[in-house]
Amino acid sequence: MPQAVVFDLDGVLLDSEQRWNEAKEALVRETGGSWRDDAPAAMMGMSSAEWSAYLRDVLGVPMDGEAINREVVRRMEEGYAHGLPLLPGASEAVRALAARWPLALASSSNREIIDLALRVAGFEDLFRVTISSDEVAHGKPAPDVYLEAARRLPADPARCVAVEDSPAGVSAAIAAGVGAVYGVRTTHPAPELVAAGAGEVYPDLTGVAAALGIGR
């Protein structure tokens, strides 16, 4: 039996990866930078400091990193105010799993976005621990967010379950020694998640919940 379940946010609970990419692309183009088709893949898993530097140094946004971060976050907050893009089955799975195990969130999103999303979704009281990659030394695929989540729970990483949607996230959980890593193929195809180390891959969180015995 696991000690805890640790979720990613974007692409696992929220259909938000495209929203992040659109906000970043819009800022790049509006400020005279040069957007690249491979930018979303390059930024996958980066902390806000890391992707802000990428927008500045690689894509040519003529602003300092803190200003870039603030502007992208503002656009995301504005979008979430008009509706939170919860993925199918997310609410039911989170509530069912929280009734059985402690939950943690290990996300590359900014603290402001994590708190806003959980508040709007009504998940604030369901997660014992939430970690932003801004609060550790390195973003995914480094293991930092998972190690910190396990430390704060507290739980043995080897007895935790992680739920991820990207190869970078799966790699982060594997590097942290998480005992079981489930993938959801909301943003990346199953073969990419399996190649990164995911043990099982499901269409959404309904499948993950069932694999953990919810609904049986």
Strand, coil or helix: what is 183? strand
Percent of the chain with pLDDT over 90: 94
Mean pLDDT of 83-92: 93
To the query of whether residue 134 is one of the catalytic residues in this protein, the response is: no
Q: What is the pTM of this model?
A: 0.88
Q: Are 15 and 85 within 8 A, CB to CB? A: yes
Q: Is the pLDDT of residue 216 over 70?
A: no
Q: Which amino acid is at 35?
A: W
Mean pLDDT of 79-100: 93
Q: Which of 10, 134, 144, 165 is catalytic?
A: 10
Helices (H), 31-130: 39-43, 48-57, 65-81, 90-98, 111-121
Q: How far apart are CA 55 and CA 47, in angstroms?
A: 12
Q: Is the pLDDT of residue 111 over 70?
A: yes
pLDDT for the residue 215: 66
pLDDT in tens, 116-170: 999 999 999 999 999 999 999 999 999 999 999 999 999 999 999 999 999 999 9
pLDDT for the residue 82: 83
pLDDT for the residue 214: 87
Crossing angle (nearest 10°) for helices 111-121 and 65-81: 10
Q: Which of 8, 134, 144, 165 is catalytic?
A: 8
| Model confidence band, residue 182 (pLDDT cutoffs 50, 70, 90) | very high
Q: Which domains does the chain have, with CATH numbers?
A: 4-15+85-211 (3.40.50.1000), 17-81 (1.10.150)
pLDDT in tens, 34-71: 999 999 999 988 989 999 999 999 999 999 999 999 99
pLDDT for the residue 21: 95
Cα of first residue to Cα of last residue in the chain, in angstroms, is 15
To the query of whether residue 10 is one of the catalytic residues in this protein, the response is: yes
Q: Are 142 and 44 within 8 A, CB to CB? A: no
| Model confidence band, residue 1 (pLDDT cutoffs 50, 70, 90) | confident
Q: Which amino acid is at 92?
A: E
